[in-house]
Amino acid sequence: MILLSRKRLIFISLLKQYDEQLFQPRNENEMELVKINLKKFESIKRSLTYFCYSSLTMSVIAPYFHQEPFGLPFEAWYPIDMSYCLYVAAYIHQTIAITLLAFGFIFGEILVIQSMTFVGLQCDLLCYRLKSIKVKQNSDKENKIILTEYVRNHLMILKFLDITGEMYGMTYLLQLFACTTTFCTGLFLLTVTENSFEYFYLLSYIMAQSFLLLTPCWSATQMTRKSEKIPTAAYSADWIHGTNSFKQMLILIILRSQTPMKFYAGNFFELSLDTYVSICRASYSYFTLLSKMTNEK
């Protein structure tokens, strides 16, 4: 959240992009595409919120299942004698802190997911518009105007994705490393804990962290796959009856859209399902190494 707060101007420019006229649906068929994408986004958002709130609830009620008195959601040392009143104050402090932290994570994830969903939606709309092109006979100028508009539409989608990467890229680079560490340590703690409630708490925490990383990776993969359909949609246009200049502009769109749209974490790692699987494998490898070192001691 600190990194995001430092990029307020970029965030404001990103919000302004949503109001661009070329991004707005124009007919009922395009509105239907918008509804389909919004429905998927709402499902992802509800699932993400459910997993995070479940883990948050387990964290808050965990002290009631501790064997020792004055248990806290997170073990901490305080340079004072822990009386009941001070314990209640520390418990409330930790509860508020982890609640705000959870809200921050959920808010940040939803922002990234909705940005990728928006890019995927715009790819769907552009594909629909390209497929719907009907060349008008004896009106080459009007045909060029329509095609030029779609070229601008594609460029604006790329610009929106660039701003999104500039806004959230470094944040997700840090989250990739954090999730790798979380998975590794969480799995290790699962093997050494003797408290049944703590076991389920750790399991819910790992699942929540996993879902926090899975949802943007899945959204980025869907966005990339939708962008890969743009060249085929352009080829499906009614170009046979067009002039040579019209065909050349259409070829330009096909060539420019050959490179799929991808979201990169800090310009280092592509955010995709393959990256998610790689993180899970790396975490399990580190967990195996950590367990082996512990057993040898």
Q: Give the domain extent around 273.
A: 2-296
pLDDT at 60 over 60: yes
In this prediction, residue 67 carries a pLDDT of 63
Query: What proportion of the chain, given as a percentage, has pLDDT over 70?
Result: 92
In this prediction, residue 126 carries a pLDDT of 92
> How many whole angstroms separate alpha carbon 163 and alpha carbon 148?
23
pLDDT at 230 over 90: yes
Q: At what angle do helices 28-61 and 84-131 cross, to 10 degrees?
A: 160
Average pLDDT, the chain: 83
The pLDDT tens digits of the residues spanning 65-111 come to 766 666 777 777 677 676 777 778 888 888 888 888 888 878 888 88
Q: What is the pTM of this model?
A: 0.86
pLDDT confidence tier of residue 225, bands split at 50, 70 and 90:
very high
pLDDT confidence tier of residue 173, bands split at 50, 70 and 90:
confident
> How many whole angstroms separate alpha carbon 170 and alpha carbon 187?
26
In this prediction, residue 2 carries a pLDDT of 56
Q: Average the pLDDT over 102-124 and give the result.
A: 88
Between 197 and 21, residue with greater pLDDT: 21
CA dihedral 255, 260, 263, 268 (to 10 degrees): -80
> Structural domain tally of the chain?
1
Tokens encoding 46: 């509800």
